[in-house]
Amino acid sequence: MSEQTVNKKKRRLIFRTVLLLVMLSLITFAVVSALQDEDVTVAEGSEAPNFSLKKFGSDETVELKDLRGKGVMINFWATYCEPCKEEMPYMEDLYPEYKEKGVEILAVNLDTTDIVVRQFMEEYQLTFPILQDKDGQVMNLYGIKPIPTTFFINPDGTVEEKVIGPLTLSKLEGHLQDIAPSS
């Protein structure tokens, strides 16, 4: 066997060993994470945990506690989520009307790449606040597993309802009516 063939085999062995170790590390991480999962969830009727996130594309920060007195919808989503894409137009359609009624829609984005979020916002012509949660801090605070997940928060800061999965236009409107401040 030539030295070149031996070197090729060594490199292949090293590459396969490294790949195997990486795969084992990922599997171990997934198993440990699943076993240590505290299953944190924000329950209906409990106070919505406060958070502070920057609006996409700006230095402006939104803090949940500053919206006390308004109804607040918090929608956790990502651009790669097909059901999220389906419900975004409904949110945009209802936003102007419900903003006037004292309801704020906050869309907490879980993507890490700005360009895909910017393209998504332009494609869907979104005008409600898109908040960036790149490190997943708020997602973890609220115990979000599948997306989309939406919280409807009363003006007093308590969670009225938590909805896992996409919303239809009629269901979304009903939830927004439920959290609108009384006139």
pLDDT score recorded for residue 30: 74
**Separation in Å, CA 90 to CA 165, 168, 179:** 14, 7, 17
pTM score above 0.85: no
pLDDT score recorded for residue 60: 94
Going by their DSSP bridges, the two strands 159-164 and 149-153 should be labelled as: antiparallel
Is residue 172 within 8 Å of residue 128, measured between CB atoms?
Answer: no
Q: Consecutive sets of 10 residues in the chain, 183 residues long: mean pLDDT of each?
A: 82 86 78 58 91 92 96 96 95 97 96 91 95 92 94 97 95 96 75
- Angle, CA 130 vertex, CA 127 and CA 135 arms, to 5°: 170
CATH superfamily of 52-179: Glutaredoxin (3.40.30.10)
Is residue 116 within 8 Å of residue 181, measured between CB atoms?
Answer: no
Is residue 92 within 8 Å of residue 122, measured between CB atoms?
Answer: no
The span from the CA of 29 to the CA of 60, in Å, is 35
pLDDT score recorded for residue 168: 94
Going by their DSSP bridges, the two strands 71-77 and 103-109 should be labelled as: parallel
pLDDT score recorded for residue 76: 97
The span from the CA of 79 to the CA of 15, in Å, is 34
The span from the CA of 105 to the CA of 110, in Å, is 16
Q: For residue range 73-116, list pLDDT tens digits in order.
A: 999 999 999 999 999 999 999 999 999 999 999 999 998 889 99
The one-character DSSP state at 154 is -
Q: Which residues pair with 153 in a beta bridge?
A: 72, 159
pLDDT score recorded for residue 75: 98
pLDDT score recorded for residue 183: 53
Instruction: Show me where the domains of the chain are located.
Output: 1-37, 52-179
pLDDT score recorded for residue 7: 85
